[in-house]
């Protein structure tokens, strides 16, 4: 199970049976690894437009589907532009 710290959720946050986190709409979360995602969620997964910044400064901005990077997007280093 992925553990997350929810910093902000502008839409719906559902906790089912005390364990399942379901975000829908725009929000921001910090993963246990230290990576930070800011963007859209659907049924608890990163889905739609968003930006994911890893602790080493690598970032991806673009499309997500079902919690994974997919479709059109740009990868780069924070402050350095596209790779």
Q: Give the DSSP letter string of 8-77.
A: EESSEEEEETTTEEEEEEEEEEEETTS-EEEEEEETTEEEEEEEEE-TTSEEEEEEEETTEEEEEEEEEE
What total number of domains does the chain contain? Answer: 1
To the question of pTM greater than 0.85 for the whole model, the response is no
Residue 8 CA neighbour count, 13 Å, CB half: 9
How high is the pLDDT of residue 68? 92
For residue 10, which phi and psi values (nearest 5 degrees)?
-85, -10
Enclosing domain of residue 54: 4-82
pLDDT tens digits for the chain (83 residues)? Answer: 344 445 554 444 444 444 556 778 888 888 888 889 999 988 888 999 999 999 999 999 999 999 999 988 888 887 665 55
């Amino acid at each position: 199970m992925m553990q997350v710290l929810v910093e902000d959720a502008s839409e719906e946050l559902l906790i089912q049976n005390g364990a399942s986190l379901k975000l829908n709409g725009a929000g921001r979360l910090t993963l246990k690894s230290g990576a930070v995602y800011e963007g859209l969620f659907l049924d608890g997964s990163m889905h739609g437009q968003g930006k994911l910044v890893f602790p080493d400064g690598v970032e991806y901005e673009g499309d997500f589907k079902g919690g994974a990077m997919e479709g059109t997007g740009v990868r780069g280093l924070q402050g350095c532009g596209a790779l």
